[in-house]
Amino acid sequence: MAEVSYKEAGVDIDAGNALVEAIKPAVKSTFDPNVIGGIGSFAGAYALPGGYKEPVLLAATDGVGTKLKLAIESGRYDTVGIDLVAMCVNDLICNFGTPLFFLDYYATGKLDVEAAKSVIEGIAEGCRQSECALIGGETAEMPGMYSEKDFDLAGFAVGIAEKGEMNRLGRVKAGDKLVALPSSGIHSNGFSLVRKLLFEKLGMAFDDEFDGKPLIETLLTPTRIYVKTFKALKDRINALAHITGGGLVENLPRVLPENLHAEIDTAKIRVLPIFKMMGQYVAKEEMYRTFNMGVGMVLVVSPDHLSYVLEHSDGYEIGELIEGPKGVTLR
């Protein structure tokens, strides 16, 4: 029997090495003085920053979901890396963690160096936006597990917090105001419903014009990263909730004590055009349980800090907290 190589089995080690070389400039652009070493070691190293009385490390992991299918099918790879970082770091800040560093995992059936480079450059851009370092990652070529063009992403973010600042429940009071920070679009949740409605039910195409540009550009708009806003306002915020899958009704209660209820005036929400269009075919309750509806993050703010928060962000008031069982009422 003739000899068989790893490449014939579907794994190209040379392509993997070429990718590492191609991404080095983007990765290094995320480094800060706490990064120890460079790319290519067995693990990434990061020195803990000083200035904390009781430092606590926090970690978050997430993916991009079926939004990746749209990136793959359209051949547009430059934004989903930003989504990957956003979904992780936006969770970290809800526990008052400041992102420190990020790791990624890229799995594919056959490594396309240019496509992977574009994805990882997006990850580096997300890290720059969130002021954290991309200190490591893994690329796995797995023929037979994925079709040749398919790939999947996983991200892992580590942050640091002051232990005494992490538990926000005691700071949240009746009368606190709810401030919405606008989303940039659908972000990275609900894309199974998006694809089912737009492409299967309505027969739309990527190049169809929507809101003045091709539909695919609206759908692939990357998730907004709120880290810098958090850093600027953290001393004026009682709590914050990342509005992802489950929408306002399931994510906002995660930052409420058992005796407080959130009342939201949906007429005040600046619903994005894509949600208005889909809302013609999907029940309102389903829309609010699946999508962010234009609200990417909700800040819980004391009345005496409301003016400052509104003046120093693009947020706007959508409701308040009242005494009652933990939950959310949309009215």
What's the pTM value of the predicted model, to 2 decimals?
Answer: 0.96
Rounded CA separation 111/138 (Å): 12
Rounded CA separation 311/320 (Å): 18
Question: Mean pLDDT by 10-residue block, N- to C-terminus, for the chain (331 residues)?
Answer: 77 86 93 90 92 96 96 97 98 97 96 95 98 95 89 97 94 97 97 97 97 97 98 97 96 96 97 98 96 98 98 98 97 91
Q: Which residues contact 266 (CB under 8 A, 6 or more apart)?
A: 288, 330, 331
- The answer to whether 176 touches 306, Cβ cutoff 8 Å, is no
Q: Tokens at residue 279, please?
A: 């809302």
Rounded CA separation 185/275 (Å): 9
The pLDDT value given to residue 285 = 94
The pLDDT value given to residue 5 = 80
Q: Which residue has the tokens 């009242």?
A: 322
Considering only CA atoms, which of 91, 54, 75, 203 is closest in space to residue 151? 75
Give exposure, 4-25, as e/b (b: 16+ Cβ within 10 Å): eeeeeeebbeebeebbeebbee
The pLDDT value given to residue 3 = 81
Q: Tokens at residue 53, please?
A: 């009385």
Q: Which residue has the tokens 């009385």?
A: 53
Kindly write down the DSSP assignment for every residue of 99-134, as one continuous string.
EEEEEEEEEESS--HHHHHHHHHHHHHHHHHTT-EE
CA within 13 Å, CB half, 214: 8
By CB atoms closer than 10 A (0-12, 13-18, 19+), residue 284 is exposed
The pLDDT value given to residue 275 = 98
The H or E element that residue 45 is part of is strand 45-46
What size, in residues, is the chain? 331
Q: Tokens at residue 155, please?
A: 């991200």
The pLDDT value given to residue 87 = 98
Considering only CA atoms, which of 187, 243, 183 is closest in space to residue 220? 187
The pLDDT value given to residue 185 = 97
The pLDDT value given to residue 39 = 80
The pLDDT value given to residue 231 = 97
Rounded CA separation 107/113 (Å): 12
Kindly write down the DSSP assignment for every residue of 58-107, as one continuous string.
EEEEE--TTHHHHHHHHT--SSHHHHHHHHHHHHHHHTTPEEEEEEEEEE
* Angle, alpha carbons 162-168-169 (nearest 5°): 150
What are the helix (H) ranges across 179-313? 191-195, 215-219, 227-233, 247-251, 273-278, 284-290, 306-311
The pLDDT value given to residue 323 = 97
